[in-house]
């Protein structure tokens, strides 16, 4: 069988192999170029919202959770209803719901456990808002787990402040 060969840097390659390598290199370059979609985007993590674009609003209040739970407490239902009412009245805003936990969790994998718990808390808040008329496309969730505590003391009172869903907004 007769195949065509090319020499590159004193190494012989078949033309088919060389074409495959060039094709893969071009595809990789295109994929990387697609990751940077706007100025300043190169410093952000792919797939995550740019949290610095969102701001707290005095009208939107945080909700809090019991230890190890992602269930919305009855005492926080009025806060969530007020948050939903504000969002319905301001359709030009989108919301980022951050899920947070305290520093406690499964000892062998505390951070993984707390990231998951923070996500479930943000999802619980999101589900409530969607059920009360907020378009899901206006809501983004992000879990920080234990990484961004509101309080750093090692007390139950402090830990309870860290078990929360935080609401931030920006204009569309």
Sign (positive or negative) of CA dihedral 28, 34, 38, 44: negative
pTM, 2 dp: 0.71
Overall domain count for the chain: 2
Radius of gyration in angstroms for the set of CA atoms belonging to the chain, rounded to a whole number? 24
Q: What is the DSSP letter of 135?
A: -
- Helix (H) or strand (E) run with residue 20 in it: helix 15-35
Per-residue model confidence as pLDDT tens digits over 10-68: 666 677 776 777 777 776 666 665 554 444 444 344 566 787 899 999 999 999 999 99
Model confidence at 83: pLDDT above 70: yes
Per-residue model confidence as pLDDT tens digits over 28-44: 666 665 554 444 444 34
Q: Is residue 43 part of a domain?
A: no
* Domain ranges, residue 112: 51-171
Task: Count the Cβ atoms, other than its own, within 10 Å of residue 123.
Answer: 17
Kindly state whether residues 77 and 134 are assigned to the same domain.
yes
pLDDT for res 42: 40
Q: Determine which of 45-49, 50-54, 109-113, 114-118 has the lowest per-residue pLDDT on average.
A: 45-49
Kindly state whether residues 57 and 30 are assigned to the same domain.
no
Question: Whole-angstrom Cα distance, residue 143 to residue 99?
Answer: 4
| Widest pairwise Cα distance in the chain | 79
């Amino acid at each position: 069988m007769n195949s065509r060969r090319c020499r590159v840097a004193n190494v012989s390659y078949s033309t088919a192999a060389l074409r495959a390598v060039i094709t893969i290199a071009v595809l990789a370059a295109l994929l990387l170029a697609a990751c940077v979609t706007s100025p300043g985007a190169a410093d952000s993590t792919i797939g995550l919202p740019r949290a610095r674009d969102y701001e707290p609003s005095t009208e939107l209040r945080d909700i809090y959770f019991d230890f190890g739970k992602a269930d919305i407490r009855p005492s926080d239902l009025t806060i969530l209803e007020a948050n939903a009412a504000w969002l319905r009245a301001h359709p030009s805003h989108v919301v980022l719901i951050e899920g947070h936990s305290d520093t406690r969790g499964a000892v062998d994998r505390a951070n993984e456990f707390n990231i998951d718990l923070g996500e479930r808390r943000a999802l619980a808040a999101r589900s409530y808002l969607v059920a009360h008329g907020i378009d899901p496309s206006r809501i983004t969730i992000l879990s920080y787990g234990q990484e961004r505590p509101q309080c750093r003391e090692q007390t139950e009172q402090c830990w309870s402040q860290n078990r929360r869903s935080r609401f931030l907004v920006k204009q569309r």
